[in-house]
Structure 1
Amino acid sequence: MTSSDSSPAADALVRVSGAREHNLRNVDLSVPRDSLVVFTGVSGSGKSSLAFGTLYAESQRRYLESVAPYARRLIDQAGVPDVDSITGMPPAVALQQQRGGRSARSTVGSITTVSSLVRMLYSRAGDYPDGQPMLYAEDFSANTVQGACPECHGIGRVYAVPEERMVPDPSLTIRERAIASWPTAWHGHQLRDVLVALGYDVDVPWKDLPRKDRDWILYTDETPFVPVHSRLTLAEARAATKAGVEPSYSGTFVGARRYVLDTFANSKSASMKRRVAQYLDAALCPVCHGKRLKPEALSVTFEGLDIAEFSQLPLRELADMLSDVVAGAQQAETVPNGAVLHANSRRAATEQRIAAGGSAHAAASDVRRTANRSPEKRAAASRLASGLIERLRPLTDLGLGYLSLSRT
């Protein structure tokens, strides 16, 4: 850390003036860029307020100005720092001393927010099929209604719940828990009571029930809400209803398949997800082929790759490719047929990597091509690629270049 009045060249500094976040009191300083800088001090001296509350918060705020309002709402924002000015601020990644709030769909790209910039790259600088209108950044996210594959709803796999999984022993009755996929304890008793209220005999072996009854119990999406007499046989329940006995409660029926799928998709309990997963047969989605996005989003390419293929590249190869994009854009401004020369140089480099035993990801780049983009798209591609390179550099410098953005 240096003082604000004696420092290296101005373009190699992040200059902070009048930082007042939390316990900071009008702090002025200059921080060298592209260097390892350590803030030290006693507890409460303002280290985190400066690093996270001021520098990182301002970097994130500037980045979010370029993000679509809808996508901006999906990002945990650090807020606007209390500071007079900050200059020379590059894009930033914050690695805080706490566990992130991961979900089943969290990836390297989503946790670092790099995927937000990738989606913007495809939206603004991607190569669209003839006649296809431009897509917004959220159309390239499998976690939004706009972008998710309509068949698998952004999961990448489709799930079947076969009867032999849900009912492993058809000699049992429903009361004896023939439907193993239903919940245990009170909820399971409730579902059996609701079936009795609906007129089904839960004391007959499963294999002896009519096929239409078995199919409805397992596969219906109906959710009837009925008054229930708790833990009675079918005959006893009918007698109680006829005698005008007050029902114990009212309950909702949920089919066995629907219970499994809803629990697997929506439960926040890892143990419940594991329990219902044993009743599922999973297969690759036939529409998106595991890429989780709608066909329109997958038809847009950048350097010959759709966004799913792009996100599967190791970070170090991704940074190399984006560096070539920036160099190619600069070359295209000064050299005739620059885009063609750029494509040829990339193909030659790929052949060298393959000959040297390069990875499958590198080999796949043999089919990539740099399209003859318009000057506007070329400029957008260069700016966004430069931003991505800056976001990827801290990760590759930490030795994480082997990861991909799609890594969970």
Structure 2
Amino acid sequence: MDKIIVKGAKEHNLKNVDIELPRDKFIVFTGLSGSGKTSLAFDTIYAEGQRRYVESLSSYARQFLGQMDKPNVEYIEGLSPAISIDQKTTNRNPRSTVGTVTEIYDYLRLLYARIGTPYCPNCGKEITSQTVDQIIDKIIELPEKTKLQILAPVVRGEKGTHKKLIETVKKDGYVRVRIDGELYDLDDNINLSKTKKHNIEVVIDRIIIKEGIEKRLADSVETALKLAEGLVLIDVIDKEEMLMSTNFACIDCGIGFGEITPRMFSFNNPFGMCKPCLGLGVKKEIDVDLIIPDWNKTIAQRAIVPFGADEEGYYFQIFKAIADYHKFDISKPLSEAPQEFIDEILYGTNGRELTIKFVSKFQGERTHVRDFEGVVNNLERRYIETKSPDMQAWIEGFMNDTPCPHCHGARLNNISLSVKVGGKNIYEVTNLSIIKLLEFLDNLVLSPKQEFIGRQILKEIKERTSFLRDVGLKYLTLSRNASTLSGGESQRIRLATQIGSSLVGVLYVLDEPSIGLHQRDNAKLIKTLRNLTNLGNTLIVVEHDEETMESADYILDMGPGAGINGGEVIAFGTFDDIKKCEKSITGQYLSGKKKIDVPEVRRELGDRFVEIKGAKENNLKNIDVKIPLGGLVCITGVSGSGKSTLVNQILLKGLHQKLSKTKVRTGKYDEILGIENIDKVISIDQSPIGRTPRSNPATYTGAFDYIRDVFAMTNEAKTRGYKKGRFSFNVKGGRCEACRGDGIVKIAMHFLPDVYVPCDVCKGKRYSRETLEVKYKGKSISDVLDMTVEEALSFFENIPKIKNKLQTMYDVGLSYIKLGQPSTELSGGEAQRIKLAFELSKRATGKTLYMLDEPTTGLHVADIHKLIEVINKLVETGNTVLVIEHNLDVIKVADYIIDLGPEGGDGGGQVIATGTPEEVTKVKESYTGQYLKKYLN
């Protein structure tokens, strides 16, 4: 069958959609935010493909995979096995890295195990192994009456660790073994499998060498080596030690290796990991900057945050006693304190005793004479000793991840890091950016033997690394923690991994793979997507990017509006077909009938600035960045150029630290100037407005509080004695207790999918019958939650507090969403606009700095048009909006641009251009400026 036929799709807002999609083609689903694209692509087509695959498995297997709901669709024909690649971050596990997620690290481990050259971690010399014959020859060459013993590793799994446990056994020309204190002749039938679990010591007494004894000795030594798993320390009594091994050992330093295997290079395996940090590369340590965030405060003003400011309390009296000793006035700020005083406060008095008088909560006035361990040591001790998760969590608030002092972030032990390929250990290779890693592999000089062994492994590594480069991720390193990746980055990583798998006949469903990607790299991504269809796969991409749509075989446009006004297929065909469709809003923007205009006059920015001096976190090259206030400012640049680091890690956290006195660790910078020009900073991203279905637009914006007030003020409510809390579905009282205010009940079906049905008692209305009897203008509280924003705006037009909240949601293009729509059903773009509406409903101060990180994610160009209008409303009241953005429609309307680059990763982190969009286009080195030209024309 060469088609995928969807009949009667009704999931979410889909209105009985029928569509036929060609197989093995590149198809883009587009339309307004909330028009039903995701409902059709992911919640219907992909969900049914996954469900059918799971249903094909045995009931035994299905119980471990979980149950899958059948989407609300009559039938789908021609489905292939489906793979979803969405915007969810790949992995939040601290042990997961780009290398492990893409499986490139597995191949690197294999490469190092097979062709790696070991060096002594102590002296740096290349080390080699000896054969059994060479070791035996060495023993036989020793002078007569030489006493020696062979020691195996004391602890299994810790190669290179040896210890003498017994004296030499005096028995001429024989080898004996001591296992757990019991002595055996090697002629005895020793159970080798038993010895694997025990400490072993092999003892040789080389006193008499006679003709014919060499053979017996050689056989005994060979057996001893087998027991010792190849690694031995030959100790010539009263003379010297010689390290000899059938594996690898440094004779000079007495350091030995076990067999070099892939597990040696795994930081998740005890054989490879750095033991002090357990392979994490970081250790949680108390951060002095979090203990004392503001050095201009006095101790009485709670400068030392963990111990408060109770002047009669135990710790305050300790601090006072230390201050008296150092003749420091405790009423002065800590910035004026002598270093000796600060050291004793933080790290203790080192045995010097203090006399402390304090008031105990339970025992009244007390006196103690004792030394003080210091605030840092106190918190560290309590963190280890406490059994309370709450106490641990509280202390963690004063801790930060710092590089492990033993491995310095490499995660591996010294032995593993001393094996090299091309002069680099495995950590140094994973620290290279993708583009530099490819250069390293291309220029690798190997011996003929190494080349023969490593040829296939290198081929796999190069191919997978090339896929990462081709999807615009050439700036990443394999050592980068997966939890630090953006949604777009993690999606492209998974895309690269799928290409590497070379599957055929698969249905791939992607959610905006162009997110976070600069236009310069877009062509590479599109080429990569095309490769999937060339292999014989069907590709459905939910996307708004014009270049991607132009490259697709077909486009499906959903609409005509969003929410209840959407859910229909408006147009299906080629790029040119969509442009010609009069009903399609997408087509109108593609054809130029509708467009976002370039401002005729840009705002004159005044002399108010926030300036970051000496920014040097990650790849930022010690740069100074001056951000003008009172306008729309865009931070631009290629992917990985340092935009998010500058804005989120340095500016946002730095301002929070200064303005809100919050405990956050910022990126590295020298200082931030001009903080007095702003009174608060607000970050608005696309994260959900709530994690559960109980959160909705009405509760988030605060409109529901006022709505409950209205119902509590009705005569019926007063007569019954109902207060405001009666109209909440989250607490006992007015909610339906059968479903606990959810409105639905889950029924477990064992081997069939769980079924969600409306509550039998409240019929999905969430409230008790008595609560629903209270009406306002003929509507119950449940009826109000079921209203759209547009309907509610008319219903509450005479109540200003509610009307103002709803008006802002209407203004940001959310007229179609229901007040009680669960937050889990909202798209990222809808969630962000609800947050914007919430901020717009507040009284403007004129000195607020709003920060938005790629606000166009998930937005159709028509929605971007509305977004720009909302941003301008914020700016027109004197506020500043700082936006990290790749979308050229937003960039072209900015008042000021700060372009970073020129490349990503190591090649980025510099300011390439600043000024108006027109000024940036004149900078040849600016990729953003070159792509911006046609949008200004």
Check whether TM > 0.5. Answer: no
Scaled by the length of structure 1, the TM-score of the pair is 0.43
Q: Which structure has the larger Rg over C-alpha atoms? A: 2
Q: Which has the higher contact order (CA 8 A, sep 6+)?
A: 1
Higher strand proportion: 2
Scaled by the length of structure 2, the TM-score of the pair is 0.22
